[in-house]
Amino acid sequence: MRRRSGCGWKYGAALNMWGVLLFAVALLLFVYYAGKKEGDHFPPGPLALPLVGNVFHVAVKQPHVYLTQLADTYGKVYCLRMGRHKTVFVCGWKMVKEVLVIQADNFADRPYQALYARLYNQHTGGLLCSNGKTWRRQRHFAMATLRTLALADGNVEASICRESRHLRRAIRQHKGEAFDPKIVLNSAVANIICQVVFGRRFDYDDLHLRQLHTLMGEMVHLEGSVWALLYDAFPTLMKHLPGPHNTIFANFEALRVFIGTQIQSHKLDLDPEHPRDYIDSFLLQIQDGKNSEEGFTEENLVLCCLDLFIAGTETSSKTLQWGLIFLVQNPQIQDKVQAEIERVVGSSRSPEMADRARMPYTNAVIHEIQRMANIVPLNGTRMAAKDTKLGDYVIPKGSTVLTVLTSVLFDENEWETPHTFNPGHFLDADGHFVKRKAFLPFSAGKRTCLGESLARMEIFLFLVAMLQKFTFSAVEGVRLSCEGTVGLTRSPYPFQIRAVER
């Protein structure tokens, strides 16, 4: 009997291996395309790859621009596949309003996302990712507590005015030389939410505060990156692989430890008659035996504080950073704002919120800063509570829906010069301030930013306080970029400016 040669055996094994691979690929393609049919009335979208879907199609640097441009090809409602999961994207003021406002009840809940399930205790904790009774109760409690603190002695507006003086002092220390405003703006804004949540502020050179800013910045950027998409698409695999996505969990845990320390400190001198801040108010709810099913647990207190701290720092600070960039690029607009400040506020007293009604141009400039800054370009995901009609399409129950706020803030049907910094968008022919329906930097509907009032107060008071005392300009020969980087929030590239005392 002839013996098969080694070469022949290897050749046969190679054929068998290729056969197995081809069979596996064919099976995957069959499974993919067999599960691809969603019905004739499901939104269209670009062809997706097996397994990974459209994950690698989304532009890494400017995803909000890419997703807005897809609407030109597939319509204002279209679909992408992230792994095996479908996400319906909604663009333009008309259709976004349909989701966030007109059919708000159908799109109030968050869908399951593996990343946030791991961070937020299987999606049941915190203010941003929870659903149902827990979310409604915690959101109501947070808003009521913020209102109470704002009306109390030493209210929030007074705290912002005091912090404005610290901010101006920090800017003055640079003596007109170039500096990075990110550090002082982060510190000023963070100190307001720190006083609301923790009952204290930090010095601008406090190493713990700076470390917290670094941790938050890295985490928020990565949560809006392709690494987060990959984790949601393949959580079991990604959980065991090295990569930047692991920084999200490490940084989140470090922030949890910091907040846990603050909570333990509060428990030592808690006064039931005089709650000082959000933590005190929450701890008293726990002591009173409030239902843990409504989220009144110490574990959830940590998560809620995290959400308030991150959301209350990232958005306002970045808005102010972008504001300085736009004003430096448009010195004639900066001059007009300063003239209005001089006329209404003067140079000796601090600005107050009551001044805003008499400062239409400054108010218009701030709104245009928020529009152009486009801080949260992709909003947060929603889930269809039932089969829901959107335009010509039917969105099946349980589908993930994401409204692209960029497409609203730059909607050519709503804004006269959408891609130009133009305060006139918010002024009538007589120079009076006018509201615009398509102005949605804080989102809209049931999930609108719960800190919107606080953010508006911070942006107005901090910006006016800075412009009252300083004129800002770029470093000679440097043109500041308006492109920026995008994660969950949109951040300017690192930049330096000069602040000359007036």
* φ, ψ (nearest 5 deg) of residue 109: -85, 155
Residue 15 lies in a domain: no
Tokens of 280: 């005190």
DSSP 367: H
Query: How long, in residues, is the chain?
Result: 502
Residue 476 lies in a domain: yes
CB atoms within 10 A of CB 201: 19
> Which of 116-120, 121-125, 150-154, 271-275 has the weakest average pLDDT?
150-154
* pLDDT tens digits along 163-194: 999 999 999 999 999 999 999 999 999 999 99
Task: Give Cα separations from 59 to 221, 224, 226 (angstroms).
Answer: 15, 12, 9
| Per-residue pLDDT at 21 | 55
Q: Which of 457, 116, 440 is CA-nearest to residue 320?
A: 457
* pLDDT tens digits along 329-356: 999 999 999 999 999 999 989 999 999 9
Residue 153 lies in a domain: yes
| Per-residue pLDDT at 408 | 97
| Per-residue pLDDT at 291 | 76
pLDDT band for position 23 (50/70/90)?
A: low
| Per-residue pLDDT at 28 | 53
H-helix or E-strand containing 267?
helix 245-268
Given a cut of 60, is residue 321 above it in pLDDT? yes
Residue 378 lies in a domain: yes
CB atoms within 10 A of CB 85: 17
Task: Kindly report the average pLDDT of the chain as a whole number.
Answer: 90
**Domains: count for the chain:** 1
Given a cut of 90, is residue 256 above it in pLDDT? yes
Tokens of 384: 């269809």
Q: How far apart are CA 103 and CA 378, in angstroms?
A: 19
Given a cut of 80, is residue 19 above it in pLDDT? no
* pLDDT tens digits along 419-453: 999 999 999 999 999 999 999 999 999 999 988 99
Task: Give Cα separations from 426 to 143, 250, 302, 365 (angstroms).
Answer: 28, 43, 39, 8
| Residue corresponding to tokens 């406090």 | 206
Q: For residues 229 and 55, is the Cβ–Cβ distance under 8 A?
A: yes
DSSP 426: G
Q: How far apart are CA 161 and CA 88, in angstroms?
A: 43
Residue 12 lies in a domain: no
Q: How far apart are CA 33 and CA 12, in angstroms?
A: 31
Task: Give Cα separations from 65 to 348, 377, 463, 468, 483 (angstroms).
Answer: 44, 9, 28, 35, 11
Residue 482 lies in a domain: yes
Structural domain of residue 467, as residue ranges? 39-501
Phi-psi bin for 32: left (phi > 0), alpha (psi -120 to 50), beta? alpha
Given a cut of 80, is residue 365 above it in pLDDT? yes
Reported pTM: 0.90
pLDDT band for position 413 (50/70/90)?
A: very high
Given a cut of 90, is residue 397 above it in pLDDT? yes
Residue 23 lies in a domain: no
| Per-residue pLDDT at 152 | 65
Q: How far apart are CA 86 and CA 69, in angstroms?
A: 19
Residue 33 lies in a domain: no
What CATH number did the domain enclosing 205 receive? 1.10.630.10
H-helix or E-strand containing 136?
helix 132-151
| Per-residue pLDDT at 324 | 98
- Comparing 107 with 30, the larger pLDDT belongs to 107
Phi-psi bin for 459: left (phi > 0), alpha (psi -120 to 50), beta? alpha
